[in-house]
Structure 1
Amino acid sequence: MTDSLTSLCRVVAHLCLVVAGAGAALMGLLVSYTVFMRWVIGAPPHWAEELPQLVLVWMTLLAAVACSYRRSHLSAGLMPLIITSVSLQRWINRVMDVVLLGMFLMLAKAGWDLAWLTMSQTTTALQLPAGVVYMAVPVGCTGMALMQLEQLFSREARS
């Protein structure tokens, strides 16, 4: 089971990173187009603020899944400098995995509730369901929870 969970997490993390990278490229294009339209043409698009914000939220939460997979999320790398005992470091990492897993699951549930609560509302410029923006929270947090679950059951920590 651990091998299949590890494989699933690797694929999910890679997919999230690819989509987040595409989102970063799209953000660059959207902002460049908006600046051009505003300052050269004099007519900014009606979605000039809303669409880049939507892309930014999704891009950030999907990239956080890949960061969680690599254990670079919420980490400054200072623990080995402060705590020299390897066994104590492992124990602290396990406790952090459990705490983060619980936190991500709670955030995913709250995000899911908020997304469904706002699905009947629409965004101002794009007229999309407002829940589309909020749906990034349960998707990203579920992905991060999956990564924490895999790390909790893995024998060696990834760097």
Structure 2
Amino acid sequence: MLRYLDRLVETIVGALVALTTIAVCLNVFYRYVLGSGLVWADEVPGFLLVWIAFLGAYLAARQEGHIAFDMLVESFPPLLRGSIQVIGELAVIGFFVLLGLKSWQMIDRVGGRSIETLPIAQGVFMSVLPLASALMVVALGARLIQRWRNA
């Protein structure tokens, strides 16, 4: 089931990259060929980049692609090493639970306001924070289960 989720997120990220590229190219065309830029084409790609980064972080977590300085931990005996890795991953899961809750509160407070250039609520773009937080909890939880099975 996680593979299907990974594929879905990969597809969404690919679509967002394509939309960002189209918006930037349209803006360049309008600005340099037609002489007037698209006001929204500066703001929206920035918001889409945030979505790409957060969803990409989930994909990297699923493939254990994040940078880790584990030379010290790898020098420990297996039992201590495993314990430290579990504690570290539980701490990161706690961080993402907190981030998800706090970002949900932020969306509740200011998410109804429109962005500067289009009548789109800021909450649409902010919703990536609780979504990505939940995805990261899933990714790290799956990793913890895998560690437990391999132990």
TM-score range, shorter chain: 0.7 to 0.9
Provide TM-score, normalisation by structure 1. 0.82
Alignment match, 1:18: 11
Alignment match, 1:104: 96
Structure 1 residue 43 and structure 2 residue 6: aligned?
no
1:31-53, Cα deviation, whole Å (9 max, x unpaired): 12211211222111121212112
Percent identity over the alignment? 26
Structure 1 residue 79 and structure 2 residue 63: aligned?
no
**8 Å CA contact 1:119, 1:129 repeated in 2:** yes
Larger relative contact order (Cα-Cα within 8 Å, sequence gap ≥ 6):
1
Specify which of 108, 113, 117 is matched with residue 116 of structure 1. 108
Alignment match, 1:130: 122
**8 Å CA contact 2:58, 2:132 repeated in 1:** yes
**8 Å CA contact 1:118, 1:129 repeated in 2:** no
Deviation at 1:105, TM superposition (A): 0.5
**Structure 2 unaligned blocks of 5 or more:** none
Alignment match, 2:132: 140
Q: Give the secondary structure class of the aligned counterpart of 2:40.
A: coil
Deviation at 1:89, TM superposition (A): 3.5
Matched letter for residue 79 of structure 1 = D
Q: Give the 4+ runs in structure 1 shifted more than 3 A.
A: none
Q: Give the secondary structure class of the aligned counterpart of 1:42.
A: coil
1:38-75, Cα deviation, whole Å (9 max, x unpaired): 122211112121211221111211111111111223x2
**8 Å CA contact 1:107, 1:137 repeated in 2:** yes
Question: How many residues align structurally?
Answer: 148
Structure with greater helix share of residues: 2
Matched letter for residue 110 of structure 2 = T
**Structure 1 unaligned blocks of 5 or more:** 1-6
Q: Give the secondary structure class of the aligned counterpart of 2:33.
A: helix
Q: Give the secondary structure class of the aligned counterpart of 1:49.
A: helix
